[in-house]
Structure 1
């Protein structure tokens, strides 16, 4: 059920009432993205203060990623069945409590446990928030604009997290956990005023326990296995066993869902070539972008010796470009020329930007190579991230928006794991020696690998995102009855 009934066409503009709701939802997404990057700079201080081993320290980061990626589909289904605002509010409270606990603990295992709980909470808030947007804003220019702003918030949360982490850690690493808890509490307080209560979707409420358990366990094992690759190698037991188990569970999941009368993840959602391609695009996009970020951070900090704060500031043009493009360009461009054209343009810009980094050397050539690459990458990221979200939920019934949102976010998270694992492995294999020249060779091959992922994304965008010519907005009643008649380009 749509949360807002007065869906008059606005040409992409967002009225103040809906704007308040969008601001609250974007604040939650900002926190989810922020928590992915904000811990990184604080790790040395955390290790020294709590006396953690390298393995335990790695799980301060990985615990959040595994829980976030593993429970996303479950979180999306819960939002559809239990109500989106209710799911969002409860999960945000859990996020705030876990953040506060993380700022107070004095033992490593407790800190890792708090990160698991935060990842679990984010897996519910993210699909709930995106599905609230897609059921509040009419498909077309208005929704495109809202999702573009939402995407800009996610990208800015990740990039600003790198800078904020350096600033907070300078004072006390515990602020890295305490500040998000305060922001999450503020979102909780604003939620009842910003979001209207919605009823659970559908007349029949099936929890499909078998399908839910299989897809959640499969996703958890998949993300866990991907996280292990940079540390234990592709052919270690700790990597192959989880990955093999994930494949088996996901095959069983498809069999179960195909036979269930009311499945947790309706397989018909994959019958749309555009929606399926959007999820594959999310894999390639994240593999390229996050894989690049992994190598870029190492290049700037470990090789060039830049401080964490300086590294964050150097990456700031990327984040600012994403915010500007996603806020002021993407939504209008999608409505004007279609999702395929925007996605191809975005992936091309991102790939060219990452490709410039192949020319890195022993000396920082920031103004000549790095900054132009960052700006091009930011343009591509700002165009592609929001566009693939638009494509991933286009034409989906309101009662299934939660699971569709969870699918596209889960694809991005899995792609992030693939990118980090692949780039880490390539960097190790391509670095033949300890000299500066050998290390530069390793980074160049790593950036080349991220560029290849980008080329794959271009091909997926061109071949997979089949769209029609944008049309004029249809009346609200017709658009609700036939989502494909809305103003945005539609999946074939």
Structure 2
């Protein structure tokens, strides 16, 4: 087939890597953007389709929570392991496996006749996402020449940002013209294109010093912990299972979480080295991440439901309603990162979550039939400004607060914490506000917005109290798009080949 020759030609000067502007560079960028963009699209379009799925499958809010959280459980629990597997077994190989798994899971979602099978497909999509998400940036970092990596990552960031912006429009349009099943079906041709490019054009790489043993027990316990806690919170709010069953699931989740901490403490190669939390600054940054993203997840989940079910918006209009958040982050995140480099992150990490909370308070005043320009847009704009101010400094602080050798781990932890916080928020807030019970989306939306506003404001207060010093160094993320689904996932430091031969190319 000639694929081996193409792989050989895709690297410039052998170990130096791919040069920017070459055909190999364009193929590599195309594969990584399409792969990660597929995951970006899926994270936005599914929320848009939830009300239609609810009508088609006859489920309640609790079922919709599982459609959202089924994906997040496995993605959050396995994303750190996915990065380690890529270093050990080959970045292109694991990235391709993730893309293929995501496609097969999307096919299951497309034909799922019941809620249970749809949730199963979403769980499997999360597995694929955990393999391809860290893999896409790792392929870029390990494939390009050192002097071209920043430009490659910047291009990747901008193009995936466009995918995130297009997602709500595309999802709403597909739902309005056809069926919610089209939002999953569209992943199949994208995945086929990525796999073809990867097979023919991407140079393989791996970390020669990666540990031979993976932290599979830690990954399993993380899945049990997140699934058990989510089940307890969702079902307790819905009241559709006996209280004892929900309590038992919560106890299993809590026990698994304790077991996870014990395994990570004793493992020779932990998925989550708990030693990184010895830095008070790193711990503070992740506390802010928990509170801000724990508020953001329920906001994005509930807003699109309210706009369609209570305000009468079409799927396309409801999906586009939050577009200003993505646009503002695309335009302002880079500037925010550069400002934090000059003045330190405390001011922006304090003001950002406070602004997000104010935006949520504005959205709590929505009424049935709400006008977009006068009622919805002001709150959305304030939320977008708050996120634009906070996310880039937050990510940079998480990286710079850990030892240099743990930079990749620190970024992965921060990304995982953000996704897990969204998962727990989507499980807990509808139950606390009564959305998943008798109140329903119309009766419980205002209470939910007040809850998430308080949580986000708490994140700003944590930053104000705990981040008192600028710190010794701040990492700039030039051109890095900070998406609403989580901070950018940076590959481990070992992803970059160096002259010392720590990284080697597969023959």
Which of 289, 293, 309 aligns to 1:286? It is 293
Q: Secondary structure at the match of 2:186?
A: helix
- How far did 1:147 drift? 7.7
Matched, 1:352 2:358: yes
- How far did 1:414 drift? 1.8
State the Cα deviation string for residues 92-144 of structure 1 (Å, max 9, x = none).
121123223433455655444332221111122223335556778999xx869
Per the alignment, residue 168 of structure 1 pairs with 174
Are residues 321 and 83 of structure 1, via their aligned partners in 2, closer, same or farther at CA, if it must alter by over 3 Å?
same
- How far did 1:283 drift? 1.4
- How far did 1:179 drift? 0.9
Per the alignment, residue 45 of structure 2 pairs with 38
Which of 305, 308, 329 aligns to 1:301? It is 308
Per the alignment, residue 256 of structure 1 pairs with 263
Q: What runs of 5+ residues in structure 1 fail to find an aligned partner?
A: 8-13, 474-479, 484-492
Q: Contact (CA 8 Å) 1:219, 1:246: kept in 2 or not?
A: yes
Which deviates the most, 307-316 or 56-65? Answer: 56-65
Structure 1 Cα separation of the partners of residues 143 and 292 of structure 2? 27
- How far did 1:349 drift? 3.1
Matched, 1:468 2:475: no
Per the alignment, residue 78 of structure 1 pairs with 85
Q: Secondary structure at the match of 2:206?
A: coil
Which deviates the most, 170-179 or 187-196? Answer: 187-196
Structure 2 Cα separation of the partners of residues 47 and 364 of structure 1? 22
State the Cα deviation string for residues 377-405 of structure 1 (Å, max 9, x = none).
11222343344333334476798666544
Per the alignment, residue 451 of structure 2 pairs with 449
Structure 2 Cα separation of the partners of residues 147 and 378 of structure 1? 21
Which of 281, 299, 305 aligns to 1:274? It is 281
Question: What is the correspondence of 1:286-435 to structure 2 with a 5 Å cutoff?
Answer: 286-326=293-333, 328-361=334-367, 364-394=370-400, 403-428=409-434
Q: Secondary structure at the match of 1:199?
A: strand
Question: What is the correspondence of 1:57-72 to structure 2 with a 5 Å cutoff?
Answer: 59-72=66-79
Q: Contact (CA 8 Å) 2:53, 2:180: kept in 1 or not?
A: yes
Structure 2 Cα separation of the partners of residues 159 and 70 of structure 1? 26
Q: Contact (CA 8 Å) 1:42, 1:165: kept in 2 or not?
A: yes
Are residues 427 and 254 of structure 1, via their aligned partners in 2, closer, same or farther at CA, if it must alter by over 3 Å?
closer
Q: Secondary structure at the match of 1:31?
A: helix
RMSD: 4.4
Question: What is the correspondence of 1:182-197 to structure 2 with a 5 Å cutoff?
Answer: 182-191=189-198, 196-197=203-204
Structure 1 Cα separation of the partners of residues 281 and 447 of structure 2? 32
Which deviates the most, 227-236 or 247-256? Answer: 227-236
Structure 1 Cα separation of the partners of residues 475 and 325 of structure 2? 34
Query: TM (normalized to structure 1)?
Result: 0.77
Structure 1 Cα separation of the partners of residues 461 and 343 of structure 2? 18
Q: What runs of 5+ residues in structure 2 fail to find an aligned partner?
A: 1-13, 477-492, 497-507
Q: Contact (CA 8 Å) 2:65, 2:426: kept in 1 or not?
A: no
Structure 2 Cα separation of the partners of residues 173 and 471 of structure 1? 43
Query: TM (normalized to structure 2)?
Result: 0.75
Are residues 458 and 52 of structure 1, via their aligned partners in 2, closer, same or farther at CA, if it must alter by over 3 Å?
same
- How far did 1:164 drift? 2.0
Are residues 295 and 146 of structure 1, via their aligned partners in 2, closer, same or farther at CA, if it must alter by over 3 Å?
same
Per the alignment, residue 129 of structure 1 pairs with 136
Aligned residues: 461
Question: What is the correspondence of 1:214-233 to structure 2 with a 5 Å cutoff?
Answer: 214-232=221-239
Q: Contact (CA 8 Å) 1:145, 1:331: kept in 2 or not?
A: no
Q: Contact (CA 8 Å) 1:131, 1:402: kept in 2 or not?
A: no
Structure 1 Cα separation of the partners of residues 166 and 445 of structure 2? 24
State the Cα deviation string for residues 330-387 of structure 1 (Å, max 9, x = none).
4433444444444334323323322322343456253334212212211222343344
Structure 1 Cα separation of the partners of residues 435 and 179 of structure 2? 37
